[in-house]
Structure 1
Amino acid sequence: MKSRLMAAAASVALLTGAASAADTIEMTSAFGKNLPILGTAAVDFTKMINAISTDIQFKHYDPGKLVPTLEALDAVSSGSVDASFATSGYWQGKINAASLFAAVPFGPEAGEYLGWLFYDDGAKLWQEMYDSNGYNVVVTPCGIIAPETSGWFKKEINGVEDLQGLNMRFFGLGAKVMDKIGVSTSLLGASDIFPALERGAIDATEFSMPIIDARLGFHKIAKYNYFPGWHQPSTLFELLINKDVYEGLSDRAKEQIRVSCLANITTSLAEGEATNYAAMVENVEKNGVTLKQWSPEMLALFEEKWNEVAVELAEGDPFFQKVWADLADYRKGYAIWSKNIYLPR
């Protein structure tokens, strides 16, 4: 499926004529190229755009090769790096609203999220966020994945008291929820998580989907894998390009970037949906992992604390309030459709 979509994207090249020598755009990725879905999404985008464009060629770099992951936004804005492939949730420490364009606890799943982005106000607000905070970048939505797992724990969690006092790697807005219930959270890059678990610097972690987490080896240390991923019902990924670099591109090159990112959204979502069950089966049958579901009471607690976090962030940040209100209004309308059209789960 992925190869067919990449070939379809390449067919756009038939519409292009002769062009001058291609400009090279150096792109840092937040995820290593050998990491399933997260890492390969950046590689796939690079292959697609390079296949269809004679105006530009992207060169992919793994995390840390050009700049540390958490410094990528500033590096692209300043022009020291041309572009980055990441998730805006990594900039939450700089911009409160950034995670609203990455993953929202108890928020939209992939289809709903994409509807807000492309047929409502989401994409416009995403660019406005960077502009209003002084970042010299252009953002293009460039990937999405289905829900993640809720976390890997060394011990079974029977109630909130078992979470309180834990040190846990946690991403995005969900980290603020965990902080509220007494978990001490930190944001670690993919390569730093397993060593931190191994030496006891953290007691638990969440990162991504089962197939991705399997590559990082969490199952070797933490044997309890909890579901559902309430903190990330879907996760968006962005392509950031320095605005001066972007404005220097031809209209054709800009359109080729947009089309390649749309194809990448499709393949990243489909690959995640198709490949994760096998990793879950292997975790249980070969790795001694116990798959656990949060109780209704625990999910209700997480949602209660998330609502508190959202109110606090909105009260303290006018732009967060603007985006949150817009998304909430869209979701209210979307619910009329979704509650009537889909089968009950």
Structure 2
Amino acid sequence: MKKILSTIAVTASLVTATPAMSLDDLNWDMQSTYPGSLTQLGTLGKVLSERLTAVSGGSINLKFQEPGAIVPALETFDAVASGAVQAGWSTPGYWTGKDTALALFAAVPFGPRASEYIAWMKFGGGNELFDEIYASYGIKSLACAVIAPEASGWFRNEINSVDDLKGLKMRFFGLGAKVMQKLGVSTQLLAGGDIFPALELGTIDATEFSMPAIDLKLGFYQVAKYYYFPGWHQQSTIFELMLNKDEWDALDDQTKAVFETVCDANITYGIAEGEAIQPAAIAELKEKGVNIQQWDPEILDALRVAWLEVVEEEKAANPNFAKVWESLTNFREQYEGWSELGYLK
């Protein structure tokens, strides 16, 4: 009996001493395309980093690197693909130079709200297509945040017609830039930190960037006083955690599950925070003399027509775009029946 009790005691002590989790120990760099101080766009990356460490009990350390700390912001894709850094914090819309289809995983003009967008990604085939495109570049990317609708632009002067847009030089993101080009706007993509100097110096005449709480922090109101809604080009925006695919594939299943679960939690956090912080930001912008405007329906109609032209051109030019667009469109057509029944208008 003494021997049996002794054996049980030893076994119990070994079980107690065994860690509850057996994760891969990771000390990785995560190059961000956004400053860590930038509301939501950067801070959600920092929240992700902190929660990965906390949930893993210190096994997963993903060091948030400010833009330019390892590589410039818009070189993050190549750095992750090559393995120069293990991870990157960004949005797929920055990488349309690699494949225009990636823009459809970031923000879609006249596209879905956050709940519908994530439904397509998780259960409508979006993630599978996302993986397929990124795998060809040696990247695994996880949808890791979604934010509320953006504004559609800051202008120095009031825009009363489509003609008022012609000839403007404007910072614009993603597929929306191609739409604006069709209406006579000259567009360029600038990283967040480069926009205000360009606007102040007159290198650009107008800009869009994000939602009121974020635009407020960047100070665009100091140069341009007309602020337009709704954000037809970005009704919701997906952000991503990019990982070098070889590094990802080498992880055990439990470690992968921690990444996926924390990203899902970050999606919920980002939506809730983004919706909560807008009213105060709008009130402050009004106090600073900003003219909050809504687009004339005729201008929105012109933008919608131009967008459908862009879709047809992109489908013809890129089989990946055509395949992703078909998937998203089919999902949205099916979803519309539920949306009409289930939601108040």
TM (norm. structure 2) is 0.93
The equivalences for 1:1-345 within 5 A come to: 17=20, 19=22, 22-54=25-57, 55-131=59-135, 134-285=136-287, 287-344=288-345
1:7: which partner in 2? Answer: none
Structure 1 16/216 Cα, relative in aligned 2: closer, same or farther at 3 Å? farther
Deviations 1:110-160 (A, max 9, x none): 0000100111100110011112xx311111110000100010000000001
1:22, distance to aligned residue in structure 2 (A) = 2.3
Provide the C-alpha distance between the structure 1 equivalents of 2:19 and 2:327, rounded to a whole number of angstroms: 38
Please tell me whether the aligned partners of residues 27 and 62 of structure 2 are also in contact (alpha carbons under 8 angstroms): yes
Native 8 Å contact 2:216 2:281 kept in 1: yes
CA displacement 1:170-197 (0-9 Å, x = unmatched): 0000000000100000000111100001
Distance (Å, rounded) in 2 between the aligned partners of 1:20 and 1:112: 33
Q: Distance in 2 between matches of 1:129 and 1:164?
A: 35
Distance in 1 (CA, whole Å) between partners of 2:96 and 2:20 is 42
After superposition, give the CA deviation of every residue in 1:10-51 in whole Å (9 maximum; x if it has no partner): xxxxx9625478221110111111111111000000011000
Counterparts of 1:173 and 1:235, CA distance in 2: 12
Summarize deviations over 1:201-239 as a string: whole Å, max 9, x none. Answer: 000000001110011100001000000000001000111
Aligned partner of residue 71 in structure 2, secondary structure: coil
Q: Is the contact made by 2:171 and 2:204 (CA closer than 8 Å) also made in structure 1?
A: yes
Q: Give the C-alpha shift of residue 70 in structure 1.
A: 1.4
Please list every run of 5 or more consecutive structure 2 residues that lacks an aligned counterpart in the other structure: 1-17
Cα deviation, residue 88, structure 1: 0.4
Q: Deviation per CA, 1:46-68, whole angstroms, max 9, x where unpaired?
A: 01100011432111111111111
CA distance in 2, matches of 1:267, 1:94: 30
Instruction: Give TM-score scaled by structure 1 length.
Output: 0.93
- Output the CA distance in 1 between the equivalents of 2:268 and 2:190: 28
Distance in 2, matches of 1:296 and 1:19, equals: 57
Alignment coverage as a number of residue pairs: 327
Q: Distance in 1 between matches of 2:307 and 2:23?
A: 52
- 8 Å contact from structure 2 (residues 51, 262) kept in 1: yes
Counterpart secondary structure, 1:207: coil
The 3-state SS of whatever aligns with 2:240 is: strand
Give the 3-state SS of the residue equivalent to 1:32 in structure 2: coil
| Unpaired segments ≥5 residues, structure 1 | 1-14
Q: Bigger CA drift: 245-254 or 172-181? A: 245-254
CA contact (8 A) 2:145 2:267 kept: yes
Deviations 1:217-262 (A, max 9, x none): 0000100000000000100011111011112222111100001100
Larger radius of gyration: 2
SS of residue paired to 1:107: coil
